[in-house]
Copies of this chain bind each other. A is one copy, B any other.
Amino acid sequence: MRFLLTCKSCGKQIPFDLKANSCKCGGTLLVTYDLERIGRTLNKENLMYRQTTMWRYAELLPVQNKDCIISLGEGWTPLIPLKDTKGILPKGKVWVKREEQNPTGSFKSRGFSAAISVANEFGIRKVAVNSNGNAASALAAYAAYAGMEAYVFVPRDCPGLIVKECVDYGANTFLVDGYIHDAGRIVKEGENEQGWYNVGTLQEPGRVEGKKTMGLEIAEQLRWKMPDVIIYPTGGGSGIIGMWNAFLQLKELGFIHGKLPRMVSVQEQGCQPLVDAIENSGNFMPQNGAVNSCPTGMRVPNPPDGQLVVSILLESGGTAVAVSSEEIVQAQRSLGKRGISASPEGAATWAALLRLIDWKFILPTDEVVLFNTSHSIKYLPWNSNSLPIVKSYREWVGCRQQIVH
C-alpha cells in the first residue's frame, strides 16, 4: 500500500482506515506515504504534462482506485503577482493564491474532493459535516456529484448566500444556534443513529490531504523556489497542517531544498485562540471566553487540534496575527482597487501583511503568498430564515419533519 496512517503525537503507524480519526493515545492521525516508491513515478518533468486539477498529485493523495475520484475541477488555481507593491515591500513580491476560483468558490473544494473520493472508495453513501459555511457548500456539491446524501450544519448567522448554495446543491441544510463546534457535536452524536459519515475537520483522513495540494501547487507554480512567508486565514487549521506536510514531503522527494516558508495564521480579533497560544509560549487552549468576531471561516474558538497548528507555526519560524473587522473591510477595499475581489478571510491576509511589515517580521526583500480563500460576494446579505434552527442533536431529530426545500 502506498499510504498509511501515522499518529502525530506518539508516532504509531496503522493501516489506512476510514473510521480511524484519532490514535488510541488521543493524537491526530495523518496520512503518510511511501515516498521512495512515489519518487519512482512522480517527478518534476512528468508533472508538466499532467491534468490541471489537484489530482495531478494523485500519488500524494489517499485514493487507490482512480475511478473512485470525485472531481469537479478543483485546484491548480492561479497564483497572481500583485502590482504596485514597491511602496510596501520595496524589493519583495506579493502573490495572491486565488482559491475563490475553485468549483465551489472556495478552497474547501480541495478537502472535499479528497474526502468524498476516499469515502466513495469505501462505499459511503451518506455524509454529514459541521462548518462555518464554505465547507458545507463544498460537501453539498461533491456529495451531489457523487450521488451521496448530504447533511450540513452551520451556525445560524452563517452568510446567507453560502447557506443557499447548500440548499441548491440538494443538501439537507440546518442552522445551529451556536458555533461550529456546537454543530460538530450534533454531527458526532448522530453518527451511529443516522449512519452518516462525519466529514468534519480532522474527523477523517481526506480533507487535510486535499488541503495539502495548496502547498504542492505553490511550490510548483513558483518553480520549486519557496516563498519566504505564507499568510493564511486560519480557523480549524487543516490548511496549515496540510501545507506543512506538503513541504516536508516535497523535501523528502528532493523537489525542494533549503528553508521552508514562515507560516503565518491570521484570525479576526475576538476569536483568536491561535494568536493567544503564540502569545502564551505556544501553549494552545480553546477560547472559553466570549466570542466577538464576524461569522467567517476564521471563527473557530475550539479547533480540533489547535496545538498541532501552533506547533507548525512555531516550527516554521512563523506566527499568528489577529486583525480587526475594520482592518478587514479596509483591506477588501485595497485589494478590490488592485483588481482582486477578496473574501473577508482573504482580505485579512492583506491586513496581516501590513501589520507584519510594520512589526518588521516581514522584510523589504521578502516574497509573500496571501490566500484569498473564497469569493467575496458569498458574504453579502441573503435571508436564510426559511430554514430550521436547532441547538442539539435531539432537537434536530424532533424538527426533521419541518424541512422544506
Q: List A residues at the B interface (Cβ < 8 Å).
A: 48-49, 52-53, 71-73, 76-80, 83-84, 98, 100-105, 141-147, 161, 164-165, 168-170, 332-333, 336-341, 375-378, 380-382
User: Quick one: closest B residue to A71, CB to CB?
Assistant: B80
Main SS class of interface, A = loop
Residues in B with CB closer than 8 Å to A73 are: 77-80, 98, 101
Q: Which 4 A-B pairs have the closest CB atoms?
A: A73-B78, A145-B339, A144-B339, A168-B336
Residues in B with CB closer than 8 Å to A48 are: 48-49
Contact B72 A339 (CB under 8 A): yes
Contact B161 A380 (CB under 8 A): yes
Minimum CB–CB distance for A43 against chain B, Å: 15
Report Cα–Cα, A376/B83, bound state, in Å: 30
Contact A339 B168 (CB under 8 A): no
Report Cα–Cα, A72/B144, bound state, in Å: 30
Contact A102 B105 (CB under 8 A): no
- Supply 20 A–B pairs (Cβ within 8 Å), ascending by A: A48-B48, A72-B80, A72-B340, A73-B98, A104-B341, A105-B377, A141-B339, A144-B339, A145-B338, A145-B339, A161-B380, A164-B380, A168-B333, A168-B376, A169-B336, A169-B337, A169-B339, A377-B377, A377-B378, A381-B382
Report Cα–Cα, A142/B146, bound state, in Å: 36
Minimum CB–CB distance for A19 against chain B, Å: 25
Given contacts A53-B78, A164-B377, A377-B164, contact A147 B84 (CB under 8 A): yes
Minimum CB–CB distance for A296 against chain B, Å: 16
Minimum CB–CB distance for A54 against chain B, Å: 11
Report Cα–Cα, A315/B350, bound state, in Å: 51
- Which of B102, B142, B336, B338 contacts A101, CB < 8 Å? B102
Minimum CB–CB distance for A307 against chain B, Å: 36
Contact B49 A165 (CB under 8 A): no
